[in-house]
Structure 1
Amino acid sequence: MVEKIAFNLGRNDEKPNIDLAIELINLKDLEGIKEIVDGLKNKKEQIANDCIKVLYEIGERNPELIAEYVLDFINILKSRNNRLVWGGMTAISKITFLKPKEIFENIEIIVNAYENGSVITRDNSISVFAELAKADKKYERLMLKKILEHLTNCRPKEVGQHAERAFICINQKNSKEFISVLLKRRENLSEPQKKRVDKLIKNIEKGNFNS
């Protein structure tokens, strides 16, 4: 299957990688998926980059097919290849609800990638933290603390988007803290950003929780 990734076809676009992800899903080709996972270790960065793209596209559509490779995704968070790191965090964000225990056991690696990673890595880290908080009461306190710290300190333009990502772990008991942080940030937001935050707060106040 690796011969079908973009680099091996002489392509610079992502369409071959997305097409391959869809093909692997439709065929439920577990051997093919394993071959793509093995490609993450390829010394050619372009091949590894294409492979992680295929895998998180599979995760977007059918996370069960890549969940068993959770430790492979966690391992590549330690890579010096930024594309692999943010791709790995994207893949992890798709499967956290299926593998919360394995991911929480490696939370230091996740947090390190969050603290040192790119914008996309950080975006997806918030989804991982929220899924963990939602998955188990044992994880909720630490993960919610990380989320609230992030929302307190992140760039104004990230507040609305990241609050929406975090919303899945908000419930009746923890909603006051969440709203309090959003209200403190609200005064420094632009009008469109305020509207985004206000909509979220209104949903919470109505009791429209996702969890």
Structure 2
Amino acid sequence: MAEGRSIAERLSGAMERRDEAPNIALAEEIGASGDKAAVGELVELVRIGTARQRNDAMKVLYEIGARNPDLIGGYCPVFLEALGSRTNRQVWGAMQVLDSVAELRADEIAAELPRIIEAADRGSVIAKDRCTSLLTKLARSGYAEKAVPILVERLKTAAPNQFPTYAEQTASVVRPAEKPGLIETIRKRLETITQRAKRERMEKLLRKLNG
């Protein structure tokens, strides 16, 4: 790596920084160079590093995933294991990584959906957002039969602020078999939506689904 320093030494925590700029810069560099050895070091830090190292390394890895998912796709088992962490940041960070490689590793990720769903259910809004995104990608990658019913079911209990976005994402991959259930769910939830902008979004989506 550049600057003659190890990966661990270039993380935000090691530099006594409270911001993420060093982590993002490192991710950009590794993503552009395709440095597999550096990715391996980051993954090892996620597994056995200090709490701060684990969080910083996960941040770098999901930033790499956003730029060059091929580099990190082979480490899905590590990220799936991290979903069981007691640290919320590890959970949503791992979910972001898995979302970034969902199309590349559809078979592997689809096989672990129960673990992913369980982590999303006890996780933060970010974890739930990424789970919905991951499910839509699986639906487009040959797993619609498995993913779409889960998406429709999760809409029933989605938080009001997230519901419109999740509904739109689900509608983008819905199959004829699940469309009536999706329409019914949106209609029921629409009764409880008071914000005008959100109501208009959902009314527009219903017109599209009924069209």
TM over 0.5: yes
Q: Could you tell me the TM-score, scaled by structure 1's length?
A: 0.88
Q: Structure 1 residues 57, 204: CA separation in 2 closer, same or farther (over 3 Å shift)? A: farther
**SS of corresponding position for 2:162:** helix
Q: Structure 1 residues 199, 32: CA separation in 2 closer, same or farther (over 3 Å shift)? A: farther
Q: 2:146 aligns with which of 135, 142, 148?
A: 142
Q: Could you tell me the TM-score, scaled by structure 2's length?
A: 0.88
The aligned residue for residue 164 of structure 1 is 168
Tell me, yes or no, if structure 1 residue 195 matches structure 2 residue 200: yes
Q: 1:83 aligns with which of 85, 89, 100?
A: 89
Deviation at 1:85, TM superposition (A): 0.6
d(CA) in 2 for partners of 1:171 and 1:17? 40
d(CA) in 1 for partners of 2:204 and 2:28? 35
The aligned residue for residue 60 of structure 1 is 66
Q: Structure 1 residues 98, 87: CA separation in 2 closer, same or farther (over 3 Å shift)? A: same
Deviation at 1:191, TM superposition (A): 0.9
Q: 2:124 aligns with which of 118, 123, 126?
A: 118
Comparing 156-165 and 168-177, the one that deviates more: 168-177
CA contact (8 A) 1:73 1:88 kept: yes
CA contact (8 A) 1:40 1:48 kept: yes
RMSD: 1.9
d(CA) in 2 for partners of 1:111 and 1:101? 16
Deviation by residue 1:158-200 (Cα, 9 ceiling, x = unmatched)? 2112223334423555444323322221121121111232344
Q: 2:19 aligns with which of 9, 13, 16?
A: 13
Deviation at 1:48, TM superposition (A): 0.4
Tell me, yes or no, if structure 1 residue 128 matches structure 2 residue 134: yes
Comparing 141-150 and 109-118, the one that deviates more: 141-150
Comparing 120-129 and 50-59, the one that deviates more: 120-129
Identity %: 31
The aligned residue for residue 190 of structure 2 is 186
d(CA) in 2 for partners of 1:115 and 1:175? 24
Q: Structure 1 residues 57, 166: CA separation in 2 closer, same or farther (over 3 Å shift)? A: farther
The aligned residue for residue 30 of structure 1 is 36
Report the residue type matching 2:152 in the other structure: L
d(CA) in 1 for partners of 2:68 and 2:206? 31
Report the residue type matching 1:192 in the other structure: A
For structure 1, list consecutive stretches of 5 or more residues without a partner in the other structure: 207-211
CA contact (8 A) 1:6 1:15 kept: yes
Deviation at 1:121, TM superposition (A): 1.2
d(CA) in 2 for partners of 1:194 and 1:9? 47
d(CA) in 2 for partners of 1:47 and 1:28? 21
d(CA) in 1 for partners of 2:31 and 2:179? 38
For structure 2, list consecutive stretches of 5 or more residues without a partner in the other structure: 1-6
CA contact (8 A) 2:152 2:178 kept: no
